[in-house]
Structures are given as C-alpha cells and as structure tokens.
A and B are shown apart, each in its own frame.
Chain A
Amino acid sequence: MILNETSVAEIKEKMVRYPRRKSAILPALTVAYHQVGHLNDDIYDEIASIIDIPAVEIAEAATFYTMFPKHPVGKYLIQVCHNISCALLGADSLVHYLEEKLGIKKGETTPDNVFTLITVECLGSCASAPMMQINDQYYEFLTREKVDAILDELRKQA
C-alpha cells in the first residue's frame, strides 16, 4: 500500500459526501497527491479498490488533469500558464527566464529536488496574467522581479 491510513480514512470520509461514487474520484486523487506528491498506476489501483470504481476511470480522470504530476517532482511544482491570455502577456519569456534561473528545462527538476518546472493550460486567472501556480498557491501579474523574490523566498523555506 502506498496510501497511508490517514489518506484512506480521508478518502472514505469524502466518498460519502457524494450521491455517486464516481464523484469521489477527484477528491480522492487530491488526497493521494497531497500525501505522495505525485500519482501513478499503483495509486489508481488503490483508489479504485477504496471507492469501488474501475481503475481505468480513475486513471482517465487523473491523466486528464495536468495539475496532478504523474512522476516524482521537486518540493515546489511550478506550473506556468501558457494559454492564450498569459501567452499574450509574455508567458513564453517567463518560462525562458525560469529555465535560465533554475538551470533546468521545462519538464525537469533541479538537482537539489526543490523545483520542478512545467507549463499548463489556462488556470482561470486570465485577468491577472501572466501567472503561475506553485503547489496550491497562485502567483499573478508576474514580472521578472516578482519571480526572483518568490523563488528566493521558497528556497529559504526549502
């Protein structure tokens, strides 16, 4: 078992909130993600047996959502929106800046396992573009200076 007792209990608690078991898929995936830091086939199988939904449906939902990483990632998962509004306001150069600063390419993790950089589709915060999400937190109206400050702060905490 990958999921610990707390996670299993939490999933079971969430499960009963919905009239259809299928609705518990995303909450369950979120619990698993918070515990493990990423998702994989074994986790889908475990969730499948907890909420009694075929594993294929769990995997379909999980892979549909880019915000669940499917491989181990660094402590901070930087998800830069590169969809239309953010793109128009410089998402591409933001990504390049981050790549340079972190010394990794998009999709990679820093050797000290602190940062992973990926791009994602619209995060629904177009009005404050360009933006990115790091773990559960949104960072909006980004500029290079802001990015510097954010990364410095996070590195201190790491």
Chain B
Amino acid sequence: MSSADDNKVTLTIDGREVTVPRGMTVLEAAKSIGIEIPTFCWHPKLKPVGACRMCYVEIEKMPKLAVSCATEAMPGMVVHTDSDLVKQGRRAVLEFILLNHPLDCPTCDKGGECDLQDLTFAHGIDDSQFDFNKYRFIRDKKSTFDDYRLGPEIIRNQNRCILCYKCVRSNKEVFGEYDLGAFQRGNITEIDTGPGQQVDSIYSGNLVEICPVGALTNTDWRYNIRVWKTQKVNSICQYCADGCNLTLWKDRQKIYRATSRRNDAIDEGWICNRGRYGYQIANAEGRLTVPLIKRGERQENATWDEAIELIARRFKEIKDKKGGVCIGGLAYPGLDSASLYAFSKLFRTILNSNNVDFRIDYKMLPEEPGDLYTQITSRKFSIAGIENSDVVLVIGSNLINEHPITNLRVRKVVTQKGAKLYTLNPFATKSGDISTDEIIYRAGTVEALINGLCVSIVEQKLASDTVDASKLATRVEPNTVAQAAKISGVEADRIVGLAQALGEAKHITLITGELLSTSITRDAITAAIMNLALLCGMAENGQIGFLSKYANSKGAEKLGVMPLLSDSLIAEMKTLWGGYPEQKGLGADRMILSAKKEEIDALFVMGSDPMLCYPDGQFVREGIEKLDFLVVADLFETRTTQMADVVLPLSSIAEMSGDFVNLEGTVQHFDQAIKPLGQSMPGYDICNKIASALKEPLFESVARMQPDIMRLLLREENPEIQRELREVKTSVEQASGEYTVPLFVVDQAHHFAHLTERSKSLSAFCSEAHLELSPSMAEKLHAETGTLIRVESEVGKVILPVIISEHIDNDVAVVTRNFSANPVNDLQMRKQRVDYVRLTRVEEK
C-alpha cells in the first residue's frame, strides 16, 4: 500500500486509488482525480482555515466527519466524499449557514453565480428546523436593509456573509493590506474596516471577486445587470506590462465589469483595480466619435474622407518639399501590436522616415541603438520565476504602483517562501514592510551606491568566478565603500550587509523600475547594475528584470517602434518590406526638439498625450506650437488633441481584437468585446487609410498581416552577456539656490497614463494629482492632508493638495502625474537628472 517514494502518499478516494505529493490535502487529492468536493472557505491560493465545514468527507477510522480542505492526505487513508453521512453533514452545515441568511437572491447581485445558491441547490434541503427570527445587522435604524460602504467601490451587506473569511485572509496574506478585519464573534461576527480606515488599496477589488456570496459587491456591477444576461469575452489588461488576464462581461454594446481570468504564470487569479475598473473608459462619456478638422481657431466635425484627404495632402507636401525626415510619429505603447506595426510600417515604407518612437515619458533618450539597456531588456524575465529566488532586489521602483501583480509575486516569495527582499529607492515605499533592509539613497546617486555594493562584494571575496573582478577598482568611481556611503547617504555597514546577502544568495531576482529606466543617466545606471549582476552570478543563477511599463512596451520594442534599431532587426524589416529608410531616425525627445527648431514640420501622434505625459511640459508645448501640421488619434480630447489640425477618433482596446506583449515577452491575445464606438477606428485601420491615400495600402486585412507581426514578436534577440566589468563614473548633481527638495514625478496607483481618469470607479479612488510628503516635511510646512502647497521648480509651478505619506520619511516631494487638471510635467526639465523644487504653503484668503 505505501509508496516507495517518500515524497508521495497513496490513498483511496471513493474507491479509486490515487498517489499525490506529500503535504497535499484530501480536498486537493480528490480534485486531482476529478472528484469535486463543495467548499466555501477554501481557496487555491490561501492557507486553509476550515471555517465553513462544507467540505466534509468521511475518512474510515476517524471518529467524526473531517474537513477535507484542512486534512492532509495520509498513506492508506480511505475517504468517502459522497456517503450518506457526508450528505447529512453537508445538509446540516448548510442549514446552519442559512440560519441568519436573508435569502434575498432575487435582488442580490451575486444571484446566478453564488456559491451559496449553487451549493444549497445541489446539497441542501428546502426547510429549516429553526423557527426564531433571523439575526439582522442593520446600521441605519431607519433602514430595513444593510448596505454599508467599506471603501470607494465596495459595499458590504453583512447579513449575506457566510464568514468564510476569504476577504480578510486574502487581504492580509496575499496583498499585505491591513484595512479589513473580522470583528466580534459567533453569529454577530462582522466584516468591517479597521479603526478609522477605508478599504481602498489597489487590490481591494479582489475582495469582491473572492467573496463566494453577495456580501461584498462593487458599485460598478451592483444593480446594473443580471449575470445571466451578459456574455464573457477574453481580454488582457491594458494598464501595465504585467499583462493580467481578464474576462470582460458585456451585454450588447456595453461592458459591465472585468474580472480575473486566472493565469498562474502571470497573475495567479488576482488583478489590481486598474485592470478591474479601467474597462469603463470604453463606455465613458466624452469619447471622440467623429474626426475633427481645425478650421480657423475651431476644430469642427468632418468626415473620414475629408480628414484622410487632408492628412495625405499635407504629409505629401511636406515629404515632397523637405523629405520624410520632416515628419515624425509618436505612438502609445499601450496600443495593440497590429496598430504599432502598421504605424511603423506607415512611416518606414510610405513616408520614408525612421522618426517613430513609443517612449513618450523618457527624458533624453540615448542616440545609439543596441545600448546596454536594450541588451538587457531583451532578455527573458519570468514573473513565476521570482519564486525560485532566495533574494529579491528592487532598485528604483515603487513596485506596488508600477507593477501591482508582479509585486504580489515578490510578496509571495518573501512572506511564504522565506526569500529576502532588499529595496533601494530614493524614498520609502510600501515594500518596506516586508524588506529585510529598505535602503534610501540620496536622489540621483544610485550608481555610486551600486558601485559601493560591487566593491564590497569583491572585498568580501564573494564575487562570482565567471568574471574578472580585479579590474573593478579601476573601472568604477567611487571605488570604495566609504566614498559610496558618503555620496549616497547610506551607512557603510548597510552597504556591506547587503553586499554580503547578494554575494551569498543562491538565486537573485533583480527588478528595476521606472525611477531608473526614464532617467537621463540610465546608461550609467544600467552599466552599474550589469556589473553587480555579473559579480553576483545572476547571469547563471538569477534573472534581471528591467521591467517595461506599458501593456505593450515590449511589443513596441520588438516591432521596432523606435528610431534606431539593431542591424538584425533592420535586416528583418528589409525582408518583410523590401526596403528601409536610409536616414537615421529621431527619438521622441529629439523629434520635439527638432520641431522646436522647425526641422520637423508634421507629427502624427497615435494614442498618447505628450503634452501631459512627457517630462518637460514647456519643452513639448514649444515644440508642438511650432509644427505646421499635427495629427492626433485618441479616445478622448486631451491636451495634445486640443492643439491638433486633425483629430481622429481611436477605438479602445475593447473594440478590437489583438495582442499585447507583457514584460516577460509573452504574447497574449485579447478578443473584441464591443463594436468600435461611433466612427472610431483601430490604429491599424487609421494607418492603413493614410497609407492608401498616400500611395498604397499597408495590408489587405489584419489577419494577413498577422504572420509578419508574429515573426517579429517571437524573435528572440537574447544577446550574449558580455562578461567584462564596465566603466561607471558617477556624476552627482547638487541642488542649487532656492530649489532644494528633490522632486519625483510618479504614477498614482489608481491612475495610469492619460486614460483612466475617464473611469468613474477609478476616479472614486483618486481624481487629482497630489503632493506626497513625509510627516516631518509636512510638519515643517505646517501642512495637513489636503493643505494646498505651491510646488515650484526653475521652470514651472503647480498647486497641489498634500497627502501625508505612510511610508516616505525623507525630505522629498513626490507628485502624482497624468491628471489633466494638474500638468505636473511642467515642473520637470528634460536635461536635468533630478528636478528640484521649492515648497510653500498657499495661504488661504
């Protein structure tokens, strides 16, 4: 009977023998052979608690029914999941669960997809032995119905709650959020927020999805539609490069909600609120539905024919007179691959210009192709692979906001698998709560700090022998721990401690984020990180994730929506298209600069809003004002469309099918949910129309173009990592004059790019830009939450309300961006590595 393999156990379930890994529960063992046991409180990603007793099974030689979700499978067990005793037990459990349940299924939004409804139907009886009045939770004495708001989007009806605790458990265990609890005890146990709190984390929507009954509902779905009237559509989230898998629930032309479509390689069944509520932009008010042409001062409605004819004529005039190099294109990296490909093809084959770019929020792009940065980003990174690491190192990223779901994988490996997390940031973030050490460096000194780490690893004789470490001291500056400590403001012993942890680690996942990737010194930073990676042996035992930001940044990279491409990619394009423009192209930043100098005459912007998003508002404005001709395609009116000669209505992602490439390089397909709104069109159709009017179509049909796209997307470039330590000299800028507080312009968790402001639910979390300050900084300014502060830099000024941070504890100004009412990019200067500001209180009149 017993298995030879010590890591396996063999047991019998309903007469069938099954061998499973040791440690598996009886429930999981049954599932593995297709035997379903009803459950309420069990969840595949949570630790079992045995709260509901619904999963009762009979195990021979055990005196009582056992909860299968919390009973480990043991060798020789004989389990019955469907005996009379089990049936009786389940019925009794259901009778108890229904004791105080209101049975208001007809008006409950969970009706039709409720575990309690389904399991009562399958296993329950239609009567109860209890004849006293049901216990009622009612907060508002005037009401007979208990609806209570836990946060911006979640409504709680305690009477429906069956106390499975899945909401509270997932919140603490998986999301690391402590804003929800189970209070009191017995049948008066109540799920509620913690003292003075709101349930408003970026993960909060998952609590609704995990609730098996209608106790937690969200305001977007509530009382809007019955589930059986909707159809499900497979989709992919468009609000970061994690690429969570979604299901859109729609009826005719309207989407009603988005839920997770569990993909264990990526999201493990969790999505963040951007993914959950961002769908609302498709049906939001204010969508552009017809083309607009500027006549005099006003933009007036026009037909597609008029708009395309005008675009073709003006592009042709410019091209004939001054050449394709005088036309540039900026595309949003959250567009589908077909649109990005068509965009690049339009420019390169029809307009004969290499001026295309998707990097709309990078200061001062490098001018040469194949820089080290691209070499690294083209390497494979795996979200699930984070679980193999014993050390995770995050540099320059507010991970929870940039990559909410990758952040969960980091939390998982740290809190459940005992890995150590180290964070290196210019200000503290939420990750600090689980970090072994949260290191805060002085703004703009990260290379110095990394150099210090490298030096210390070598000094401690922990360097990998796959690299010649002896050259380090001559290649990097600073080259002592003491100097690095002095420049970065980090204590030397912490540098040494982290170096030791990295040197001794078996498998490291290194993650860098936006605070580095968009920096003007990113080549130096990348070189420093590469040195560190080599010295720690990460190329063999670990992974380096320079995480891309947008839903399809990676696709845009692979499809070559950049001015300067590697030789091999150019060769590929020549084969596909039979030609490729000779002239060197310009990056986003230089296109705007050239526009300012009147060397670029026309710009075609597809789906992005550089006026709001590019880090140096004034610079963009000056460039765009000088243009002769500006075409902008977008979903809504933006700061950029307002300046356009022609505005084209763009379809949202929900209105087409296509694919995105996530930060791992995985190509993921999404289906079309609804028809394009009004006369809007997907980007690829727009590009094709322009190309046809100018010369010839780019493609006959998108389907025909797909193989070309896939060929580029599936191309692996994985260049050999050069095993030479690189030069890294640190140049440190000092704050000067009256502007002394380092400024960081970051994303708000519930707002992404220029788009999600249009989602009603997301706006309920946050609808304006803020200035986040440490408590001590706020005190210096005599500011409380909500106090208005004037934030001034050398080039711009904005007034923002204060939020006192729960994490930040140094003197920095962190402002949230991309809110159309507060263009904080006006504070930034493209040539400045770190922007400095002055903060003053706005005195009330």
Chain A positions within 8 Å of B, measured between CB atoms, are 41-42, 44-45, 54-57, 59-60, 63-64, 66, 121
Contact = CB atoms under 8 A, between A and B. Distances in A.
Contact of A60 (B179, B183, B186): B183
A68 to B, nearest CB: 12
Nearest to B182: A60
A56 B184 contact: no
A26 to B, nearest CB: 14
B182 A41 contact: no
Contacts of B195: 41-42, 44-45, 55-56, 59
Nearest to A43: B195
Interface string B164-182: 0000000000000011111
A50 to B, nearest CB: 15
B578 interface: no
Interface in B527-576: none
Contacts of A57: 178, 181
Given A56-B195, A56-B197, A57-B181, 17 more contacts: A41-B196, A42-B195, A45-B195, A45-B196, A55-B194, A56-B178, A56-B179, A56-B181, A56-B193, A57-B178, A59-B183, A60-B181, A60-B182, A63-B183, A64-B183, A64-B184, A64-B185
A28 to B, nearest CB: 15
Nearest to B185: A64
Contact of B181 (A45, A59, A66, A121): A59
Contacts of B181: 56-57, 59-60
10 contacts: A41-B195, A45-B196, A55-B197, A56-B178, A56-B193, A56-B194, A56-B197, A59-B194, A60-B181, A63-B184
Contacts of B197: 55-56
Contacts of B186: 121
A125 B37 CA distance: 40
Interface in B686-707: none
A130 B179 CA distance: 40
Interface size class on chain B is 10 to 19
A4 to B, nearest CB: 21
Nearest to B183: A63
A56 B196 contact: no
Nearest to A45: B195
A45 B197 CA distance: 11
A121 B185 CA distance: 11
A152 to B, nearest CB: 34
Contacts of A54: 178, 194
A42 B195 CA distance: 8
A64 B185 CA distance: 5
Interface string B189-204: 0000111110000000
Interface of B: 178-186, 193-197
A121 B187 CA distance: 13
A60 B195 CA distance: 10
A84 to B, nearest CB: 14
Nearest to B178: A54
Nearest to A54: B178
Rank and list the top 4 A-B pairs by shortest CB-CB distance, nearest first. A56-B194, A54-B178, A41-B195, A56-B181
A124 to B, nearest CB: 16
A60 B183 CA distance: 5
A55 B197 CA distance: 10
Q: Determine which residue in B179, B194, B196 has the highest number of CB atoms from chain A within 10 A of its CB, and name it.
A: B194
Nearest to B179: A56
Given A41-B195, A41-B196, A45-B195, A56 B180 contact: yes
A107 to B, nearest CB: 14
Contacts of A66: 185
A109 B193 CA distance: 29
A45 B194 CA distance: 10
A63 B181 CA distance: 11
Contacts of A64: 183-185
A142 B388 CA distance: 63
Q: Determine which residue in B180, B193, B197 has the highest number of CB atoms from chain A within 10 A of its CB, and name it.
A: B197
A4 B183 CA distance: 26
A130 B196 CA distance: 39
B198 to A, nearest CB: 12
Contacts of B194: 54-56, 59
A65 to B, nearest CB: 8
A54 B186 CA distance: 23
Contacts of A121: 186
Contacts of B193: 56
A44 B197 CA distance: 13
Contacts of B180: 56
A57 B194 CA distance: 8
Nearest to B196: A41
Contacts of A42: 195
Nearest to B195: A41
Nearest to A63: B183
B156 to A, nearest CB: 15
B196 to A, nearest CB: 6
Q: Determine which residue in A44, A54, A121 has the highest number of CB atoms from chain B within 10 A of its CB, and name it.
A: A54
Nearest to B197: A56
Q: Determine which residue in A42, A44, A64 has the highest number of CB atoms from chain B within 10 A of its CB, and name it.
A: A64
A32 B818 CA distance: 47
A42 B194 CA distance: 11
A66 B185 CA distance: 9
B419 to A, nearest CB: 20
A72 to B, nearest CB: 18
Nearest to A53: B178
A121 B833 CA distance: 65
Contacts of B183: 59-60, 63-64
B758 to A, nearest CB: 33
Nearest to B171: A56
Nearest to A59: B195
A44 B182 CA distance: 15
A42 B197 CA distance: 12
Q: Determine which residue in A59, A60, A66 has the highest number of CB atoms from chain B within 10 A of its CB, and name it.
A: A60
A64 B165 CA distance: 15
B154 to A, nearest CB: 15
A102 B193 CA distance: 37
Nearest to B184: A63
A60 B184 CA distance: 7
Contacts of B179: 56
Nearest to B188: A63
Q: Determine which residue in A55, A66, A121 has the highest number of CB atoms from chain B within 10 A of its CB, and name it.
A: A55
Nearest to B180: A56
A67 to B, nearest CB: 12
A42 B196 CA distance: 9
A44 B178 CA distance: 13
Q: Determine which residue in A45, A63, A121 has the highest number of CB atoms from chain B within 10 A of its CB, and name it.
A: A63
A41 B193 CA distance: 12
Contacts of B178: 54-57
Contacts of A60: 181-183
Nearest to A64: B185
A21 to B, nearest CB: 14
B617 to A, nearest CB: 40
Contacts of B182: 60
Q: Determine which residue in A41, A42, A56, A60 has the highest number of CB atoms from chain B within 10 A of its CB, and name it.
A: A56
A109 to B, nearest CB: 21
